[in-house]
């Protein structure tokens, strides 16, 4: 059950640095539920290689509820800063989906996601996500259909390192109404004193001029080092 929940969080969330939340299990009249909450402080909020806070820090939180059948719902939030062109200050995401194991090494997850920006309704986005776990690889295909059509594909792989460290690698390809782009990231993580610590390097091939033209803000698509500390409840 926890494996399904972890896949759901990884594929649905826009977390700058994803963490594996610990869940509390409850027996209810409708079956077993896993409930988890996670709080994160990060030096930046990176979404598909691009800063969503103008290079400034981010405070983030999530709540996830998963049923033993594989169905789950969740919510996630963060501060944002898109510069003078956009007065959004908060992002609130809502998602629901279903995940299951086909074999011990193959799993899948499909979810519907709504990314909302209170006070700036024209920025809200609806998206479908299909995630597949395949022999250690995490594959995802994402299709945003409202208000504009865009596609995003990604591949990730994680390694266990000595002394309890972990290494995660990611590469993504986006195709939206403005241009196509690639992003990539490498993350070193470790649990320390009950906290999930992570240091991520991320970058894109989006030029500064394309970034300004598309997003009307500068320095949001360049290389970035992001440190985060997460606590699960």
Q: What is the pLDDT of residue 83?
A: 76
Q: Find out if CATH 3.20.20.60 is the number for domain 2-232.
A: no
CA-CA-CA-CA torsion sign (76, 179, 122, 50):
positive
Cα 191 to Cα 196: distance, rounded to the nearest angstrom = 5
What pLDDT is recorded for position 216? Answer: 57
Distance CA 48, CA 20 (A): 19
Per-residue pLDDT of the chain (233 residues; tens, 9 = 90+): 433 444 444 444 444 444 444 568 878 888 899 999 999 999 999 999 989 998 899 999 999 999 999 999 999 999 998 877 677 899 999 999 999 999 999 999 999 999 998 877 667 889 999 999 999 999 999 999 877 789 999 999 999 999 999 999 999 999 986 678 999 999 999 999 999 999 999 999 988 777 777 665 544 788 899 999 999 88
User: Could you give the CA distance from residue 233 to residue 220 in angstroms, rounded to a whole number?
Assistant: 32
CB 183 within 8 A of CB 172: yes
Q: Show Cβ contacts of residue 209 under 8 Å, excluding neighbours closer than 6 positions.
A: none
d(CA 29, CA 41): 36
pLDDT given for residue 148 in this prediction:
75
The pTM of the full predicted model, rounded to 2 decimals, is 0.86
Residue among 55, 58, 34, 45 nearest 220 (CA): 55
Report pLDDT for 29. Answer: 81
N- to C-terminal Cα separation, the chain: 17
Residue 10 has a pLDDT of 44
Q: Answer for the pair 182, 204: CB distance below 8 angstroms, yes or no.
A: yes
């Amino acid at each position: 059950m926890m494996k399904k929940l972890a896949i759901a969080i990884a594929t649905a969330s826009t977390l700058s640095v994803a963490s594996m939340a610990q869940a509390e299990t409850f027996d209810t009249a409708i079956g077993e539920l896993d409930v988890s909450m996670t709080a994160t402080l990060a030096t930046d909020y990176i979404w598909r290689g691009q800063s969503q806070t103008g290079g400034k820090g981010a405070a983030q939180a999530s709540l996830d509820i998963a049923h033993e059948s594989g169905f789950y719902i969740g919510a996630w939030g963060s501060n944002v800063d898109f510069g003078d062109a956009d007065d959004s200050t908060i992002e609130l995401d809502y998602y629901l989906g279903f995940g299951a194991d086909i074999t011990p090494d193959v799993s899948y997850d499909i979810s519907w996601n709504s990314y909302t920006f209170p006070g700036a309704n024209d920025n809200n986005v609806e998206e479908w996500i299909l995630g597949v776990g395949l022999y250690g690889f995490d594959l995802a295909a994402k299709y945003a259909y409202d208000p504009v059509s865009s596609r995003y594909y990604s591949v990730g792989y994680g390694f266990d390192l000595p002394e309890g460290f972990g290494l995660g690698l990611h590469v993504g390809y986006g195709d939206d109404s403005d241009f196509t782009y690639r992003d990539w990231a490498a993350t070193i993580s470790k649990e320390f004193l009950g906290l999930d610590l992570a240091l991520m390097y991320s970058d894109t091939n989006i030029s500064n001029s394309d970034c300004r033209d598309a997003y009307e803000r500068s320095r949001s698509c360049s290389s970035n080092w992001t440190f985060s500390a997460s606590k699960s409840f």
